Amino acid sequence: MTDSSNYPPLPAGKLSPALLSRLLAQLPTTHPRLLLGPGVGEDAAIIDPSPDHLLVAKSDPITFATDAIGYYAVNVCANDLAVTGATPLFYLPTLLLPTDNSNQSTIQAIFAQIAAACTELSITVAGGHTEITPAVRQPVIAGTLLGQVARNAQITSGGCGPGDRLLLVGEAPIEGASIIARERRAELLALGWDVHLLDQAAGYLYEPGISVVRPALAAAASGLVSAMHDPTEGGVLSGIWEMAQAARLGIALNLDAIPLNPLAVKLCRTFGLNPLGTIASGALLSTAQAKNIPHLVELWASLGWTATEIGQITPQAEGCTATRGGQPVAFPRFAVDEITKLWA
């Protein structure tokens, strides 16, 4: 990254046409269905729709993370599209930067992150907006991602039925561990944390990564899953509860079966966070009939992902229940994501 001290602060308002042109040149902005893309003086994208597919749209802001914010912004939207079975296609980010410490280097770094994430997932940047404003104290990206899924092939978070098994693909909370290691690095070093462990946790953003696009789209294409959900804000347990609410059903959950990353757990506990309620992109919640589980596990394994059965869908009257050590316990709920404690 270029040393930001080499650049003077930028004034509030829109970017200059010259700077904006240079920044847009580094983004993937070409697609045969994108008739009008981002450019100086252009305020809207024109996209040629397909008669054989459904349009799927997702908007999401990134406010917790500042380091690698562009990479987070693209991937969290892409995950939410992929769990519907939709292929992410067109991204439109709105980037808001504070007036007191934003310069050309800052913006170039964020644009580079967006470009890298979009290129990795074959996503085209169709438009967006960038502005320096006193309304924010740190960089904020609110992005909209458009994708498509074949008609009658879409998957919802509430598509499961009683008797379906609940699975978690990957581990939790990968995203939370990366945010903690990046945002609280100096404090953790002062507490005696090993620099290599912090580097490892920070690198979880990319390896194993917060993207679940590949396992989600593969599962959707197989036709073996009944529902999928991306457990982002609120962590794995909030994601599970949301699936039950969407389906208007209950869930019997084995808390001991949920695969947690040991380093992520240690980082969470350092700051008093419950890892089950900590932001958890990088894991995929899915439901399927029992007969389909072996085939799904094999499919995900071929992509380098592990899947763990952690519960079962039950009738609505049974509610959301949980066990630990074989004994019934209250189903844990989180009013807000545990990661917010870092900024409390």
CATH number for the domain spanning 68: value is 3.30.1330.10
Dihedral sign, CA of 332, 337, 340, 344? negative
Which residues, in sequence order, are bridge partners of residue 94?
A: 129, 142
| Shared domain check, 280 and 190 | yes
Over 80: is that where the pLDDT of 55 sits? yes
Same-domain status, 175 and 322: yes
State which of 125, 150, 175 marks the end of a domain: 150
Question: Band of the pLDDT at 42, cuts 50, 70, 90?
Answer: low
- Asked if 138 and 203 sit in the same domain, the reply is no
**314 domain residue, yes or no:** yes
Specify whether 174 is located in the same domain as 323: yes
Asked if the model's pLDDT at residue 41 lies above 70, the reply is no
44 and 137 co-located in one domain: yes
Which residues constitute the domain of residue 299?
A: 165-343
Tens digits of per-residue pLDDT, 132-182? 999 999 999 999 999 999 888 889 999 999 999 999 999 999 999 999 999
What is the rounded CA–CA span in Å between residue 149 and residue 50? 10
- 282 and 311 share one domain: yes
User: Do 252 and 138 share a domain, yes or no?
Assistant: no
Q: Which residues pair with 58 in a beta bridge?
A: 145
Q: Give pLDDT tens digits for 123-146.
A: 999 999 999 999 999 999 999 999
Q: Would you say residue 90 lies in a domain?
A: yes
Indicate whether 155 belongs to any domain: no
Its pTM stands at 0.88
> How many structural domains comprise the chain?
2
pLDDT greater than 60 at residue 302: yes
CA atoms within 13 A of residue 337's CA, in its CB half-sphere: 21
Find out whether the peptide bond into 173 is cis, omega within 30 degrees of 0: yes
Q: Is residue 157 in a domain? A: no
Which of 103, 118, 150 is the C-terminal boundary of a domain? 150
Indicate whether 133 and 176 sit together in one domain: no
Whether residues 210 and 285 fall in one domain: yes
Looking at the fold, whether 190 and 143 belong to one and the same domain comes out as: no
Q: Is residue 159 one of the residues assigned to a domain?
A: no
Q: Are residues 213 and 146 in the same domain?
A: no
- Residue 55 phi, psi dihedral angles, 5° rounding: -85, 130
Q: What's the rounded Cα separation, in Å, for the pair 44 and 37?
A: 8
Report the C-alpha gap between 247 and 287 in whole angstroms. Answer: 11
